[in-house]
Structure 1
Amino acid sequence: MTDAWDSEDAYERYIGRWSRSVAARFLHGLPDGPPAAWCDVGCGTGALAHAILTTQNPTRVLGVDRSEPYLAAARQAAADPRFTTTVGSATAIPAGDGEFDRVVSALLLNFVPQPDEALAEMRRVARPGGLIGGYVWDYAEGMRLIRSFWDAATALDPAAAELDEGRRFPICRPEPLRALLVGAGLVDVAVGAVTVPTVFADFDDLWDPFLGAQGPAPGYCAALPEEHRAALRERLRGMLPQRADGGIALEARAWTVRGRVPGNGNR
């Protein structure tokens, strides 16, 4: 099954609204520096880029993504002359060598087939002394929305375990992330965690985004026969803590990682 990423509205309801909270916390944890040129690799609908624009006083931000619909949504939401976008990928960033002070990515590295190539490319466009960083969901344990979905799905369909992001993406753990950046020749590598609340008004607010076919779990859900999807819905509903008012309060943990390109200066 190919992971689909082509609807900005569906993505926003599923993950985008939670990614914005993580983006702000991730940026807050970075070392301070003077106004810098940033590259947001795999920028999607712009959650991280927008947080950079509003909190980091950048000189410019370039958003790179494969999806033109996502880039269009990011441009529309930002409306900032410092923000530009271009179609590209993590392993082919349309930028010059050493062009950026800070190169970052949000929820991307686990979807890149060759993450070591992505880190080499991110290092290429970062200047000596520049910062490279990003974050990914803790699919195995701490991202409770997606973890609960796959626990319910595999209870009904053991074959679904092959699609479970916690199993598919072993890179989404502290030590593999650290090893990835160290292997790319970065120094001062640090790994951390950011946990944000994911509060849903009711079960439909949680469930409906799984019907949007954006990413592995919604893609699996949307492809199920109706009767199987209904069984999954009820299984998931029964697993989740529901408040008296119908709301569902979960948490989402992301692993953060950052390192510095060897060389003079720090940003």
Structure 2
Amino acid sequence: MVTEVWTAGDAYEAYVGRWSRPVAKAFVRWLDLPGGARWLDAGCGTGALTAAILEVAEPAEVLGVDTSEGFLAGARARVTDARAGFRAGDMRALPLPAGRFDAVVSGLALNFVPDPGRAVAEQVRVAARGGVVAAYVWDYAGEMGMIRHFWDAAVALDPAAAELDEGRRFPLCRPDGLRALWAEAGLEGVTVRGLATVTTFAGFDDYWRPFLGGQGPAPGYVTSVTEEQRRALRESLRARLPAAPDGSIPLTARAWAVRGTVRHRTHR
């Protein structure tokens, strides 16, 4: 049985957190909001998006909310700007008043929420009239290379692993899925675009080692199988990953981003 764990900030950073920062900056630049805005980072994790907002957007304030105390501890340690704050909370029931924020954003979290429609409705609720609600998720089925290569190798060896593959599990993480979710939430001017960066691993060990940390579906799978299965998977990946002449492994990491605008309120 595979248990998905999202508690250890350092293990998450080693796995995928380090690659989320350039995508977070590209996302904030794409939103292109004026300085002095009030931002909410829903599902803030270890604070990559919060840090990008502070660096790029000149906000008046940024509040990060997450359910994981381990991730929040990591965010507080990494983001020390006085304009930023962090608190525990569920994206499906944000502990915040309505209409509070000019921008409500979420990075790499929405697909892991059991009811993403409810989470987006909450984002709309706490956004101000005319505010922006936006998010981005990895392109698991396509060009999130480090994870796509992993599951392709795992499923070739163990067909049962297919049920854990985020590319199959999360149809939300495609342009049509995101566009439909934002439209259903009543947001206007909905736009979707791809954001890509290059994840360059120093060598195979740099690629493989983070999968041993247990944070997320793929590392959870690695820790659940036998040593023999783990060895076979490791060698399959070593053979299939594209390596440069110097031994480094450059892979594309693409995310799909969506944005919309709050134009009116509906009372429920």
Instruction: Classify the TM-score, shorter chain.
Output: over 0.9
Further displaced range: 90-99 or 181-190? 90-99
Q: Match for residue 24 of structure 2?
A: 23
Task: State the shift of 1:34 in Å.
Answer: 3.8
Q: Distance in 2 between matches of 1:127 and 1:65?
A: 21
Alpha carbons 1:63, 1:85 under 8 Å: kept = yes
DSSP 3-state at the match of 2:161: helix
Deviation at 1:3, TM superposition (A): 1.6
Contact preservation (8 Å) 2:35, 2:60? no
Counterpart mapping for 1:54-93 below 5 A: 54-93=55-94
Q: In the aligned structure 2, how far is the partner of 1:97 from the partner of 1:243? A: 51
Q: 1:262 to 1:2 in 2, by over 3 A?
A: farther
* Matches for 1:153-164 after TM superposition, within 5 Å: 153-164=154-165
How many residues of Structure 1 are paired with residues of Structure 2 in the alignment?
264
What is the CA-CA distance between 1:33 and the residue it aligns to?
Answer: 2.1
Give the secondary structure class of the aligned counterpart of 1:172.
coil
Matched, 1:140 2:135: no
* Contact 1:86–1:94 (CA under 8 A) maintained in structure 2: no
Map of 2:173 onto structure 1: 172
Offset of 1:114 from its aligned partner? 0.9
SS at match of 1:185: coil
Matched, 1:12 2:13: yes
Task: Tell me how far 1:113 sits from its aligned partner.
Answer: 1.3
How far does the alpha carbon of each residue in 1:98-143 deviate from its partner, in whole angstroms, 9 at most, with x for none?
1111000000111111111001101111011100001000000110
Matched residue type, 1:107: L
Contact 1:143 1:252 in 2 (8 A): yes
User: How far 1:77 moved relative to its partner?
Assistant: 1.0
CA 1:33–1:263: 2 relative to 1, 3 Å = farther
CA distance in 2, matches of 1:100, 1:250: 36
Question: Conserved in 2, the CA contact under 8 Å of 1:132 and 1:260?
Answer: yes
- The answer to whether the 8 Å contact 1:131/1:258 transfers is yes
**How far apart in 2 are the matches of 1:12 and 1:151?**
23
| Aligned residue identity for 1:23 | A
AA in 2 matched with 1:84: G
Give the CA deviation at 1:263: 4.3
Superposed, which structure 2 residues align to 1:1-267 within 5 Å?
1-263=2-264
Structure 2: runs of 5 or more not aligned: none
Would you identify which runs of 4 or more consecutive aligned residues in structure 1 move more than 4 Å?
none
Q: Equivalent residue of 1:96, what SS? A: coil
User: Cα distance, 1:2 vs. partner?
Assistant: 3.3
The 8 Å contact of residues 34 and 57 in structure 2, kept in 1 or not, is answered as no
SS of residue paired to 2:186: coil
TM-score of the aligned structures, taking structure 1 as reference length: 0.97
Secondary structure (helix, strand or coil) at the match of 2:200 reads strand
Q: Distance in 2 between matches of 1:113 and 1:263?
A: 26
Q: Give SS of 1:29's match.
A: helix
Q: Is the 8 Å Cα contact of residues 187 and 260 (structure 1) preserved in structure 2?
A: yes
Letter in structure 1 aligned against 2:246: D
**Contact 2:47 2:64 survives alignment (8 Å):** yes
- Measured in 2, the distance between the counterparts of 1:240 and 1:4 equals 26
Unaligned runs of 5+ in 1: none
Identity %: 57
Alignment RMSD: 1.1
